[in-house]
Structure 1
Amino acid sequence: MYTRLISLIILGIGLTRASNPTVKLGKTTLIGLDMPGVHGEFFGGIPFAKPPIGELRFEPPVLETTLQGGILNASEFGVPCIQIPSASGMSEDCLTVNVFRPQGLTSKSRLPVMVWIYGGGFIAGSASIYNGSLIVQQSITRGTPIIFVNLNYRLGTLGFPTGSEAQSKGALNLGLKDQLTALEWVHTNIGAFGGDNSRVTIFGESAGAISIADLFLNSKLERFVRAAILESGSPATTSLFTSESGTSLWQTFARAVPACASANLNNTFGCLKSASVADIISATSTASKSSTQDFAFVPVIDGEGGMIPVLPSVLQSRGLVSRIPFIAGTNLDEGTLFTDQTVNSSAGVENGLLETQMPSTFPLPILQSAVARILDLYPDDPSLGSPFSTGNETFGLSSQYKRAAAINGDMNFQALRRAWIQSATSHGVGVYGYLFTDPQPNSGALGVSHSKEIVYVFGVQALTGDPAVALLSVQMMDYWISFAVSLNPNDGKGSKRPFWSPYTSTNQEIIQLNSANLTMIPDNYRKEQISFINSEPLLFHH
Structure 2
Amino acid sequence: MHGLSHVALIFVSSRAISYAAATIVDGIPSVQLDEGTFIGNLSGNVSQFLGIPFAQPPVGNLRFQLPQPNAPYTGIHNATDYGPSCIQQNTTQPIPSGLDPLALQFLELEASDLQANDQSEDCLSINVMAPADASSNSKLPVVAWIYGGGFETGGTASETFGGSGIVQRSIELGQPVLFVSFNYRLNALGFLAGAEVEKNGLGNIGLHDQRQALRWMHKYVNAFGGDPDKVTIWGASAGAASVGLHMITNGGNTEGLFRAAFMQSGSPGSAGTLAEGQPYYDALVADVGCSDAQDTLQCLREAPLQNLTVAINNSPNTDSYQSLNIAWAPRVDGIFLKDSPQQLVLKGSVANIPFVTGDCDDEGTAFSLASVNITTDQAVLDYFHGNYFPKTSTRDIERLLQLYPNDTRLGSPFDTGTANAVAPQYKRIAAIQGDMMFQAPRRFFLQQRSSQQDTYSFLSKRFKYVPDFGATHGTDVANIYGPGDLTDYLVRFVATLNPNGDTGIFWPLYTVEAPRLLTLWDGAVPLNITNDTYRTEGTKFLTQLSLTDPDTF
What TM-score do you get using the length of structure 2 for normalisation? 0.86
Q: Does 1:379 align with 2:399?
A: no
Is 1:65–1:185's contact at 8 Å kept on the other side of the alignment?
no
How far off its partner does 1:514 sit?
1.9
Whether 1:370 aligns to 2:410 is no
- In structure 2, what is the Cα distance between the partners aligned to 1:293 and 1:330? 19
Corresponding residue to 2:355 among 314, 322, 326: 326
Residue 337 of structure 2 corresponds to 308
* Unpaired runs of at least 5, structure 1: 1-16, 463-472
> Which of 532, 536, 539 matches 1:530?
539
CA distance, structure 2, for counterparts of residue 433 and residue 24 of structure 1: 39
1:509 correspondence with 2:535 = no
Partner secondary structure for residue 273 of structure 1:
helix
Q: Deviations over 1:204-248 (max 9, x none)?
A: 000101111111122332520000100001122xx5111111112
Q: CA deviation at 1:367?
A: 2.7
Return the letter of the residue paired with 1:387. P
In structure 2, what is the equivalent of residue 485 of structure 1? 495
Q: Deviation string for 1:461-498 (max 9, x for gaps)?
A: x5xxxxxxxxxx1x210001110100101132xxx311
Q: Determine if contact 2:447/2:512 at 8 Å carries over to the other structure.
A: yes
Aligned counterpart in structure 1 of residue 216 of structure 2, from 185, 189, 197: 185
Distance 1:521 1:94 in 2: 42
1:413 maps to what in 2? 438
Q: Do the aligned partners of residues 316 and 261 (structure 1) sit closer, same or farther apart at CA in structure 2, a change above 3 Å counting?
A: closer
Taking the aligned partners of 1:320 and 1:214, their CA distance within structure 2 comes to: 10
Q: Aligned pair in 2 of structure 1 residues 222, 520: CA closer, same or farther (>3 Å)?
A: farther
Corresponding residue of 2:132: 103
What is the match of residue 499 of structure 1? 506
- C-alpha displacement at 1:348, in angstroms? 2.3
Q: Which residue of 1 aligns with 2:194?
A: 163
Aligned to 1:453: 476
2:59 matched residue in structure 1: 53
**In the aligned structure 2, how far is the partner of 1:309 from the partner of 1:503?**
28
Q: Secondary structure at the match of 1:422?
A: helix
CA contact (8 A) 2:117 2:157 kept: no
**Alignment counterpart, residue 288 of structure 1, candidates 289, 310, 316:** 316
Please tell me whether the aligned partners of residues 116 and 157 of structure 2 are also in contact (alpha carbons under 8 angstroms): no
Q: Which residue in the other structure is 1:230 paired with?
A: 263
Q: 1:291 to 1:301 in 2, by over 3 A?
A: farther
How big is the shift at 1:270? 1.5
Q: Return closer, same or farther for 1:445/1:40 CA change in 2, 3 Å cut-off.
A: same
The CA deviation at 1:341 is 3.0
Aligned-partner Cα distance in 2 for 1:103–1:521: 39
Cα distance in 2 between the residues matched to 1:21 and 1:348: 60
2:78 — aligned with what?
73
CA RMSD of aligned residues (A): 1.9
Deviation at 1:262, TM superposition (A): 2.8
Q: Which residue of 2 aligns with 1:430?
A: 454
Count of aligned positions: 493
Q: Paired residue for 1:389, among 391, 401, 415? A: 415
Shift of 1:291: 8.9
Per-residue deviation, 1:349: 1.6
AA at the equivalent of 1:503? Y
Please tell me whether residue 25 in structure 1 is matched to residue 33 in structure 2: yes
Contact 2:359 2:439 in 1 (8 A): yes
Is the 8 Å Cα contact of residues 249 and 291 (structure 1) preserved in structure 2?
Answer: no
1:262 paired residue among 292, 302, 306: 292
What secondary structure, in the 3-state scheme, does the structure 2 residue paired with 1:70 have? strand
Letter in 2 for 1:537: S
Unpaired runs of at least 5, structure 2: 1-24, 91-114
| Preserved CA contact (<8 Å) 2:323 2:367 | no
Q: C-alpha offsets along residues 421-446 of structure 1, whole Å, 9 cap, x if unaligned?
A: 111113x11100000111354x2111
User: Could you tell me how far 1:356 is from its partner in structure 2?
Assistant: 2.5
How far apart, CA to CA, are the structure 1 residues paired with 2:190 and 2:517?
A: 34
Identity %, equivalent residues: 38
- Is the counterpart of residue 404 in structure 1 residue 429 in structure 2? yes
Partner of 1:247: 278
Amino acid at match of 1:169: N
Counterpart of 1:41 in structure 2 is 47
Q: CA deviation at 1:261?
A: 5.0
1:537 counterpart SS class? helix
Query: Structure 1: how far apart are the matches of 2:386 and 2:470?
Result: 25
Counterpart pick for 2:529 among 513, 516, 520: 520
What SS does structure 1 have at the residue aligned with 2:64?
coil
TM-score w.r.t. structure 1 length?
Answer: 0.88
**What secondary structure sits across from 2:157 in the alignment?**
helix
Check 1:56–1:313 CA distance in 2 against 1; reply closer, same or farther (3 A cut): same
Deviations 1:316-341 (A, max 9, x none): 12212211210000000000011123
CA distance in 1 between counterparts of 2:393 and 2:437 reads 17
Partner-residue secondary structure (3-state), 2:47: strand
CA distance in 2, matches of 1:257, 1:502: 51
- How far apart are the structure 2 equivalents of 1:32 and 1:392? 53
